[in-house]
Each structure stands twice: as structure tokens, then as C-alpha cells.
Amino acid sequence: MTALVRMRLAGFLRTGRALAPLLAGLVVLGTLYGGGRSQPAEAYGVSAVVLFPVLAWQTRILLDIEPDVQRRLAQVTVGVARERLAGLLAAGVAALVAVAVALLFPWLVGGVTGPVEPGDRSVPVGIALGLWAHLLAVPAAVALGALASRASVGGAAYGVAVLALGGVGAVALGLRGSVAPWLVPPIMATARTTAGDAAALTLLGLTLWAVAWSAAVTVGYLWRRRAQG
């Protein structure tokens, strides 16, 4: 299965279509950090929010690059479960690379600052919280992107609709006072937490929420794949 993950990543990188989400990510990060300096935890919380739809889009591109017949060849060779898992893992690896870029980016452009006032978080704690916020976004974005992929929804228009609904919904339904925040992954709640009081129980709760949401959407993806044959 590792070989299939490598092959799919190689296909993604060699087509040049990896450039589009990379550039989009750099644009949103540039816009985010162009407005001034902020402390790492706060900056990274927002960074995870803006990266969420980009990572989902990247996942969809990665999975859609492979021709349908080639995906079936892989399925025949390694089996149904491993073929599905390899796609998700390849997308996860690509997302982690993007996260690494996102974590480094503000240091390269001077977008972050250390503690300013007494009581501010230290830089390592801020980075740790930022890493956590991004890692919560990765499985959710991969699951959403997979659900929007051609193998899952069939037509390109449906895929775009799923991506748009997921991306916009994550922000709109994630606002404070939302009537159904559990319908979307907790990326907005995570950003609020990293900017404010990050109690251990809150972090645990958000982590479980993100894992449960990602698992539910992944099950939806696998169900769609099964239904598509």
C-alpha cells in the first residue's frame, strides 16, 4: 500500500496541478499575515481556518488526477480497502506538507511576534497550539475533499458543490451562536480557543469533535464509493 501512496503522490506532483492549491494557500497566508503581526497561537488558529478549504480542494485534485480505470487497476491489485486507504493517506501526506509550509510561512515573512504583555503565551506553547489547530483541520479537510472527489460524487459539478458547501459551512455554522455547529468541523471553535483560554478539557472536546466529524464524513465517502461501484 505504501507503493500506491507513493505512486499517487508522484502523479499529483508531476501533473503540475499541485501548484494551484499551493499557490492558493500561499495567497491566503500572505493575505492573512500581510495585515500585521500577531502571536503564534492566534495567528495559527486563523491560518487553520483559511487553509481548511484549500486542503480539501487539494485532496480532491489529488484523488481526481488518477484516471478512473487506473484507480480500478489499483483496486484489483491491492484490494478495495487498501485502495481507498491509500488515497486518503496520500492526501493526508500532501496536507501535512502544506501544514508544514503554513507553520513556517509567518516566520519567513515576519508575521508573528513573541509575548508582548505579561500573561501572554510563550512562543513554544503558541506553536504547539497552532500545530494542534492545523492537525485538527487535516483529517476533516481530507475527508471533505475525498467526499467531493469524482470517485465519490461522479460529476465535477457535484464535487464543487460539496467543496463549497463544506468550506463555507465550516465558517458560517462555526460562528459563535450557531444553531448547528456540530454539522461542521470545529475549525472556528478551534481558532477561538487558540486566541483565548485554551483549557485542557476544551482542547480534548474539540479534538474528539474533529475526530468524530472526520470519521463520519469518511464513512460517507466510503459509502459513496461503495455505491458508485
Residues that bind other proteins (CB under 8 A): 3-4, 6-7, 10-11, 14-15, 66-70, 72-80, 226, 229
Residue nearer to other proteins on the CB measure, 67 or 196: 67
Joined together, the cell numbers standing for residue 152 give 465519490
**Smallest distance from the beta carbon of 162 to other proteins, in angstroms?**
20
**Smallest distance from the beta carbon of 74 to other proteins, in angstroms?**
6
**Smallest distance from the beta carbon of 73 to other proteins, in angstroms?**
6
What are the residues whose beta carbons fall under 8 Å from the beta carbon of 66, sequence distance 6 or more? 8, 11, 74
Single-letter amino acid, residue 170: A
CB burial of residue 74 (10 Å; 0-12, 13-18, 19+): buried
**Smallest distance from the beta carbon of 89 to other proteins, in angstroms?**
13
Q: In the 3-class helix/strand/coil scheme, how is 173-206 assigned residue by residue?
A: CCCCCCCCHHHCCCHHHHHHHHHCCCCHHHHHHH
Residue nearer to other proteins on the CB measure, 37 or 82: 82
Residue nearer to other proteins on the CB measure, 69 or 200: 69
Residue nearer to other proteins on the CB measure, 73 or 199: 73
Neighbours of 208 (CB within 10 A): 11
